[in-house]
């Protein structure tokens, strides 16, 4: 259940019987011909789809992340690491104050991984809390499904091309993008010069039946993590 569909009294009542919640992390950055909000859209939707039958609240996705290497692509917004971790700290503190103790962070952007390390630190000063940091797209079962479908998959390629990340009236190239090796060693200017459209490698789109099958795997894997807090 998305938090926007609740009022505060309902959340207070929920906290009398459960202390789980989900915090999605996204990014606003280039994704070739897909939405600039791709990472945010996917992180929030996977969270909501996984949590809905369990009745666990999902908070709004944090739409900005750490993505300095794409800053030469207009529309990209990157936060400083210090700013980002300060926001994460404030959000986690607020959740803890209200009584949430089992917090699942569903991350949709690899550049946000410093939040995972910060969460480990945060736990040391918040007794009774537990956090799962879940990179939904490369979790074991989901990544195995992606690799079995097409081993050439990366940022802004077919693996992020779902019906809900596409833009109306935008046609996808039919040829695969060439592979950019070790892309993040470059500055933002070099990155755009080398990367072109923004797809790191692989096809831009695959059939929807394949994508929806991957999505079902990702939802099930995320839901299983929400249900089981013993590992």
Round to whole Å and give the CA distance between 99 and 78.
Answer: 31
Tell me the torsion sign for CA atoms 94, 100, 101, 106. negative
The CATH number covering residue 144 comes to 3.40.50.10310
Backbone φ and ψ for 162, nearest 5 degrees, come out as -110, 165
Q: Which of 11-20, 189-198, 201-210 has the lowest mean pLDDT?
A: 189-198
Name the pLDDT band for 179 (thresholds 50, 70, 90): confident
* Domain that residue 140 falls in: 3-227
Radius of gyration of the chain (CA): 18
Tell me the torsion sign for CA atoms 177, 179, 184, 189. negative
pLDDT average, residue stretch 133-152:
97
Q: Is there a contact between 226 and 56 (Cβ–Cβ < 8 Å)?
A: yes
Q: What digits encode the pLDDT tens for the residues 7-40? A: 999 999 999 999 999 999 999 999 999 999 999 9
pLDDT average, residue stretch 139-164:
97
Round to whole Å and give the CA distance between 145 and 206.
Answer: 14
Long-range contacts of 168-172 (CB under 8 A, 24+ apart): 170/33, 171/33, 172/33, 172/204, 172/205
Tell me the torsion sign for CA atoms 176, 182, 183, 184. positive
What's the pLDDT at 131? 97
Name the pLDDT band for 185 (thresholds 50, 70, 90): confident
Summary mean pLDDT of the chain: 96
Q: What digits encode the pLDDT tens for the residues 71-125? A: 999 999 999 999 999 999 999 999 999 999 999 999 999 999 999 999 999 999 9
Structural domain count of the chain = 1
């Amino acid at each position: 259940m998305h938090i926007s569909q609740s009022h505060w009294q309902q959340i207070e009542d929920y906290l009398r019987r459960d202390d789980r919640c989900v915090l999605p992390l996204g990014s606003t950055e280039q994704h070739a011909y897909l939405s600039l909000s791709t990472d945010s859209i996917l992180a929030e939707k996977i969270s909501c789809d996984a949590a809905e039958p369990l009745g666990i609240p999902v908070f709004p996705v944090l739409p900005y992340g750490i993505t300095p290497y794409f800053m030469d692509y207009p529309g990209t917004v990157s936060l400083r690491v210090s700013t980002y971790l300060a926001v994460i700290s404030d959000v986690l503190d607020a959740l803890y104050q209200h009584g949430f103790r089992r917090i699942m962070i569903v991350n949709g952007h690899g550049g946000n991984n410093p939040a995972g390390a910060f969460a480990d630190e945060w736990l040391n000063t918040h007794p009774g809390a537990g956090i799962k940091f879940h990179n939904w797209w490369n979790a074991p079962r989901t990544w195995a499904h992606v690799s079995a479908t097409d081993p050439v998959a990366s940022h802004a390629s077919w693996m992020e091309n779902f019906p809900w990340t596409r833009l109306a009236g935008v046609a996808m190239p039919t040829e695969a993008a060439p592979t950019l090796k070790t892309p993040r060693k470059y500055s933002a200017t070099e990155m755009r010069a080398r990367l072109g459209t923004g797809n790191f490698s692989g096809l831009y789109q695959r059939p929807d039946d394949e994508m929806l099958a991957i999505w079902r795997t990702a939802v099930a894997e995320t839901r299983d993590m929400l249900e089981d807090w013993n590992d």
